[in-house]
Amino acid sequence: MDSGHLPGHRTRGREGRSSHPSGDRTLVLPGEEIPSDGLRPGSGTYRVHGKVYASVLGLVAERPPFIQVLPLSGRYIPKAGDVVLGTVTDVQGTFWLLDIGAPRWAPLHMTGTPWKVEIGETDRYLRVGDAVAVRVENLEATGRIGVTMVGDGLGRLEGGTIITVSPARIPRVIGRGGSMIQSIQSLTGAKMTVGQNGRVWVDGTPEAIGRVRQALRIIDLDGHRPGLTERIQDLLGSRSPDVTIPRLPAPPAEREMAIPDDDGPEPPDEP
Amino acid sequence: MGSVGAKDVPVLLSPEGIRVDGRRLDELRPLRVVAGPLHRADGSAFVEWGANKVMAAVYGPREVHPRHLQQNNKAIVQCKYNMAAFSVDERKRPGLDRRSQEISKVIAEAFESVIFAEEYPRTSIDVYIEVLQANAGTRCAGLVAASVALADAGIPMADLVPAVAVGKVAGEIVLDLNKAEDNFGEADLPMALVPQSGRLVLLQMEGHMTREELSHALDMGVKGCQIVYDKMKAALRDRYSAARPAEVAA
């Protein structure tokens, strides 16, 4: 981790997962006992016979009065207010179903769009495979995820490509106060929209998209190591890029969800 | 199997109590567990256990297909155990058979009892187990791989589920049967357990044992499971120890 710095505000907003530096941050696996010191079992834990155990793989965090485990893996868990990128998986008479990488598909009702949609004419606006930026509006106990497309920066995504990273890495993609995403955009000339569900929409020249893809890949695989900002700037910045990285061949015109190129051997090495 | 005819039963146990492959009675075969080798799945694991090679992948929680299987108060756990055609000496006819259906069922039920399925209503957690190379004990190896894959997928559950087979060979209770012992031994007792609670979530038996032998076998199996459990945890630690949540520094 890079720092003694206190975590910055904003980036993740609201109930700020970032803002409590307390807790010992040890890695626990499901079934391992967590010393609770009288704290109540929170998310990612369960209690049997007065003892607290982890239920997911993650890091222990004390949030009095709770002790919880922050998961290190798993699907995107929606939160109200999050901007997410999705693809249309089904079209019904009055709504669309979106895959946002969450456990369930999210219904987008026709009234949640900036358009005047007639019943039965939903497929004139969005079709299966189209990509959209939406905001999570309400979460029901049934697991239903309500989303809306009315708001700044929301709508259908045209052109460009979507690159997927782990949802847990999104704060790193954004950077403190948006610093990371701004420097990636200005160094590559690409235009980006980041979804909290780990999907990043990128538009620009094929060359720019290729470089953003490499930067995101480093953040995804290697984002937990210190000096991330410097490594990204080295990759994209003043130094001649072909010294640092093998150039990707210009990717073929990609549409919709591009499959992330994430199964290479190990994190790319840094010279 | 194959080349060994039923007539020439190998000597399974030496007078000194050493088994065909050189192990002592209570010794496991070499076990290697790797967490997260696959990138397209939500979670995955690879297990090499003696001459067994098993890959497991987990998807979910995700939408249930077909829809009518959906349960509105919890996630369903679906498991598919499959042996590759090339996993055994004589080419196996690919696809579902009675054996693989049974194993899929008992493994799915073992996981249902540890996964906190109520957290994801109306979804499905899908577990795929592919046996690439088989040498007795694949249901245990598959279960171990799948359990690590579930943890890798971030699925909430009470515990990891280690598994091991115990058996009876040449009149002795032995741990972790290999192919020859499985074929020519007197009994095979695969078991899976939840270390946190000590509950057994899978227990099957083929062959015969006396009551005393069974209780001895269970004790031996519990000890074997502990070793397997430690390997499973080490594999997950290995994959995740370097990781820090991005939130901490963001």
d(CA A167, CA B118): 23
The arithmetic mean of pLDDT across residues A83-90, rounded, is 97
Q: Are A62 and A98 in contact (CB under 8 A)?
A: no
User: Is 70 exceeded by the pLDDT of residue B79?
Assistant: yes
At B241, is the pLDDT very low, low, confident or very high (cuts 50, 70, 90)? confident
Q: Are B55 and B145 in contact (CB under 8 A)?
A: yes
pLDDT digits 0-9 by tens, B37-73? 998 899 999 999 999 999 999 998 999 999 999 999 9
Domain spanning A27-71 has what CATH number? 2.40.50.100
- Select B31-240's CATH number: 3.40.190.10, 3.30.230.70, 3.30.70.3040, 3.10.180.10: 3.30.230.70
Give pLDDT, residue B6.
53
The verdict on B120 touching A (C-beta cutoff 8 Å) is yes
Q: Who among A11, A70, A75 is closest to B61 (CB)?
A: A75
Residue with tokens 């009518």: B68
Domain spanning A161-244 has what CATH number? 3.30.1370.10
The verdict on A140 touching B (C-beta cutoff 8 Å) is no
Give the whole-number percent of chain A exceeding pLDDT 70.
78
User: What is the number of other CB atoms lying within 10 angstroms of the CB of residue A211?
Assistant: 24
Tell which B residues from 166 to 195 touch A, by Cβ distance under 8 Å: 194-195
Give pLDDT, residue A229.
83
At A128, is the pLDDT very low, low, confident or very high (cuts 50, 70, 90)? very high
pLDDT digits 0-9 by tens, A154-176? 999 999 999 999 898 898 899 98
User: Is 50 exceeded by the pLDDT of residue A20?
Assistant: no
CB distance B153–A74 less than 8 Å? yes
Domain boundaries, chain B: 31-240
Structure tokens at B135: 């040498």
ipTM, 2 decimals?
0.90
Give pLDDT, residue B165.
98
The verdict on B40 touching A (C-beta cutoff 8 Å) is yes
Q: Contacts of residue A263 in chain B, CB cutoff 8 Å? A: 39-40
Q: Are B79 and B127 in contact (CB under 8 A)?
A: yes
Q: Who among B194, B236, B247 is closest to A29 (CB)?
A: B236
Q: Where is average pLDDT lowest: A65-79, B7-21, B222-236?
A: B7-21
Give pLDDT, residue A224.
67
d(CA B75, CA A87): 23
CB distance B158–A55 less than 8 Å? yes
Q: Please state whether the peptide bond connecting residue B15 to the residue before it is cis, i.e. omega within 30 degrees of 0.
A: no
pLDDT digits 0-9 by tens, A136-150? 999 988 889 999 999
Tell which A residues from 212 to 251 touch B, by Cβ distance under 8 Å: 223-225
User: Is 70 exceeded by the pLDDT of residue A16?
Assistant: no
- The CATH superfamily label for domain A83-157 reads Nucleic acid-binding proteins (2.40.50.140)
Give pLDDT, residue A136.
97
d(CA B36, CA B26): 30
The arithmetic mean of pLDDT across residues A75-102, rounded, is 96
Give A48→chain B minimum CA distance, Å.
9
Domain boundaries, chain A: 27-71, 83-157, 161-244
Give B57's contacts (C-beta < 8 A, 6+ positions apart). Answer: B38, B41, B43, B44, B127, B128, B130, B149
Q: Contacts of residue B247 in chain A, CB cutoff 8 Å? A: 12, 17-18, 70, 168, 171
User: Is 90 exceeded by the pLDDT of residue A264?
Assistant: no
d(CA B57, CA A240): 41
Q: Who among B233, B242, B244 is closest to A29 (CB)?
A: B233
Q: Where are the alpha helices (H) located in A108-227, listed in sequence order? A: 170-174, 179-188, 206-222
Domain A27-71 matches domain A161-244 at the CATH topology level: no
CB distance B156–A56 less than 8 Å? yes
CB distance A70–B156 less than 8 Å? no
The arithmetic mean of pLDDT across residues B151-170, rounded, is 97
Tell me the pTM: 0.84
Residue B249's alpha-carbon distances to A9, A56, A77, in angstroms, are 11, 21, 20
